[in-house]
Amino acid sequence: MRKPLFFRLPAILALCFLLSQCQRHHPLPETVAGYFPHPAFLQEGIAQKYYFHYQRPDQSEIWTNINYLTYQINDQQELIITNYDADFTPNRLRRVVFDHGAMEVLEDVQYDGADTTRSAMLHPTMRNWLADTATLIKEKKAGELIIQSTEQQIQRKDTLIENRPGVIFYGQYEAIRYAAGDTTSFSNTFTETYLEGLGLYHQHFQSDRFQGTLELIAQMPMPEFRKQQQHGLERVAYIDPEHTLGYRPDFKLCTTTEAIIDYYNADPDIHYRGGKYALWKAIRPQLEPGKLENASGYLTFRFVINCEGETGRFTLEQADLDFQPTQFPEQTVVHLGEITAGLTDWQRGQLKGEPADAYAYLTYKLKDGELVELLP
């Protein structure tokens, strides 16, 4: 489990300077613009980091991965929305425009390794901020395979989350697959939440095969995101062993610093045994409310799990509920840090049957001195 890489304040302040300098017309109408990042951020480009939790109906365990999404306005004043896997590989690109409150898809491209597939838009309206309904129909062809999908918005509702105005869209999705005379179909229901200044904040899918939830955990300027795409020793997950919190000073790797993998690349991916239920069960009895000091925000401990399931090399990241950098009270940090370092039931790391060390993370979401969520 890794954790949020929150706004870098100098980079955001540099973008804020553009607010008074940028004279370009904002392509999002007023009824929609408030639910996306500020126009200056969209011109420069901004990246969103999400946890994606998914669960199959026959399993109690919830699995978590990381997804990214970027927003950027192109020279034609179209909004480019690109989705990325946890390793920063793009998997989808959509080019959209807005007609009053309607969000219309001009192009939808999906990437799968070296393969690129474009969908033909039969009806382009993906969402409508001014009406309850909208319909997106598209068709994708690959050789003899044809997939026609229909995404219907069936209700729009105003909301307020963490004191931010927002809009929730309710809808349903169906895909029909035609191949060699055989027809199969898949369907699910969904909800999507957009919040003021943030764009897509939360998404939930539900079908008879699985359920999945996407939740926003961090934002960053595009230059920072591009920097993190550059893999190598000091990639996004890298923890400098010379600058850690000091827990477990006798911690040892099974491999080398260069060989540490990300938790989702392990086989199976590394998590706390028994899942989130077991994690809550281990943490809750140790909490001392007085040491949480009415704190609110996201307190993230990043660390390494070795092939024996031992943890070490702890580092800390702190953000408020708006994903801005903050400082938690020292006794809150120490209290939750000691609890985290004391967790012992992590799955052992391995890759292709060989011992492995992996980067992981655990985030405590606090609100008014109460632990309300463990992430991922």
Q: What is the pLDDT of residue 354?
A: 83
H or E element at residue 298:
strand 297-305
Q: What is the pLDDT of residue 258?
A: 81
How does residue 268 score in pLDDT terms, banded at 50, 70 and 90?
low
Q: What is the pLDDT of residue 55?
A: 82
Of 190, 157, 154, nearest to 173 by C-alpha is 190
- Kindly report the pTM of this predicted structure: 0.74
How does residue 20 score in pLDDT terms, banded at 50, 70 and 90?
very low
The model's pLDDT over 26-56, given as tens digits with 9 standing for 90+, comes to 579 999 999 999 999 999 999 999 989 888 7
DSSP E strand stretches across the chain: 46-55, 63-73, 79-84, 90-99, 102-112, 115-128, 134-142, 145-161, 164-179, 182-195, 199-206, 211-221, 261-262, 297-305, 311-319, 350-351, 354-355, 358-367, 370-375
The model's pLDDT over 158-205, given as tens digits with 9 standing for 90+, comes to 999 988 999 999 999 999 999 877 899 999 999 999 999 999 999 999
Most confident of 2-16, 276-290, 314-328: 276-290
pLDDT at 114 over 80: no
pLDDT at 58 over 80: no
CA distance 178 to 268: 33
Average pLDDT value for the chain: 85
How does residue 238 score in pLDDT terms, banded at 50, 70 and 90?
low
